[in-house]
């Protein structure tokens, strides 16, 4: 699976949009971009995923560049409960594929 690069940490003001970048320059054509987050002392939580089109759900939006070498997760109105480590992963949707989390981005939402 392709490797991803994310900033180590970022701060965000409560109520503002949080834009989390992810580089995945070695992504292959059949690999999906997934985002998970892990709030302190909780299990990882699925946020969103996409292949090449932009995606939106009730939690976030995912913007994937046309060349698919990078993406941005957007939390439209960050709340204090969004403070977590956010992980960007690329992988095939093959059964049995294991998830591997890199360092992720530690997001701190401040009042």
Partner 1 sequence: GAGVSQSPSNKVTEKGKDVELRCDPISGHTALYWYRQSLGQGLEFLIYFQGNSAPDKSGLPSDRFSAERTGGSVSTLTIQRTQQEDSAVYLCASSQILRAGWRETQYFGPGTRLLVL
Binding site for partner 1 (CB under 8 A): 34, 42-46, 49, 93-103
Distance of alpha carbon 67 from alpha carbon 98, whole angstroms = 25
Closest approach of Cβ 48 to partner 1, in Å? Answer: 9
Pick between residue 5 and residue 100 the one whose CB is nearest to partner 1.
Answer: 100
**What's the CA gap between 93 and 65, in Å, rounded?**
20
User: Closest separation between CB of residue 104 and partner 1, Å?
Assistant: 8
Question: Of the two residues 52 and 77, which places its CB atom closer to partner 1 in the complex?
Answer: 52
Contact yes or no for 50/33 (Cβ under 8 A): yes
């Amino acid at each position: 699976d392709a490797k991803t690069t994310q900033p180590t940490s970022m701060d965000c003001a409560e109520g503002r949009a949080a834009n989390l970048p992810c580089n995945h320059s070695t992504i292959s054509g059949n690999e999906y971009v997934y985002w998970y987050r892990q709030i302190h002392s909780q299990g990882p939580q699925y946020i969103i995923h996409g292949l090449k089109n932009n995606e939106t759900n009730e939690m976030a939006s995912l913007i994937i560049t046309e060349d698919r070498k990078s993406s941005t997760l957007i939390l439209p109105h960050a709340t204090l409960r969004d403070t977590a480590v956010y992980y960007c992963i690329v992988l095939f949707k093959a059964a049995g594929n294991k998830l591997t989390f890199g360092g992720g981005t530690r997001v701190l939402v401040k009042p």
